[in-house]
Amino acid sequence: MLRKATLALALIGSCIATTAAAQSFTATLGVSSVNPKGGNGTLAGARASIDDDASTTASVAYGFDENWSAELWTGLGRFNHTVSLAGLGDVGKVSHRPTSLSVNYHFLPGSRFRPFVGLGYTRVSLSGERAIGAIAGSDLSAGGSNGYNFNLGVDVALTDSLFLRGDARYLDFDTQVKLDGADIGTANVDPWVYGLSLGLRF
């Protein structure tokens, strides 16, 4: 009986140790480029377009096991964009900061090259809206956005704890735009965000 109990405790301890070893934290720091889709809707009856911008981004993630992780990704700096309207040119400036919470699946445990895919939820906070050009002096405003995100990428191990990450994220990002308090349409930003970062596993 004692021998069976001892064996059972040993097996339980082994399972706990294996699970703990599989769990890990990662943190990344890098640069990402936000690239809005072509054709960003119609504002005030004119076709809108939004340019690209790059800024510093970071993430922290908890690995439940060798394959699954939960990741919090955010912009450390704000992304700044210029809004243009067909026939009017540049008409606005806006800044935003995205924050995403995702569940990722990592392939090829133990490999130097580890691709991953993920799905989650993004909150985009907007600020600094400013009318310029043909509508300078008007009150331009836009609301924050909530939507899903899809991401994919690959981690390349440099050492046991350091890795290089390249990733791409699609953000479901639409915002209502107002001019002098009147609704003038929805900006469909829906960008792909391309990133390159250095990561630490601990």
- Smallest Cα–Cα separation from 94: which of 196, 191, 187? 187
pLDDT of residue 22: 55
Q: According to the model, what pLDDT value does residue 23 have?
A: 74
Strand partners, 97: 125
Contact 177, 189 (CB under 8 A): no
Q: With DSSP H G I counted as helix, E B as strand and the rest as coil, what are the percentages for the chain, rounded to 5? A: 10, 65, 25
Each residue's pLDDT expressed in tens, for the chain with a length of 202 residues? 434 333 433 443 444 334 444 579 999 999 999 999 989 999 999 999 999 999 999 999 999 999 999 999 999 999 999 999 999 999 999 999 999 999 999 999 989 999 999 999 999 999 999 999 999 999 999 999 999 999 999 999 999 999 999 999 999 999 999 999 999 999 999 999 999 999 999 9
Tell me the DSSP string of 38-75: S---EETTEEEEE--EEEEEEEEEEESSSSEEEEEEEE
How many CA atoms, within 13 angstroms, populate the side-chain half-sphere of residue 113?
2
pLDDT at 4: 38
pLDDT of res. 115: 98
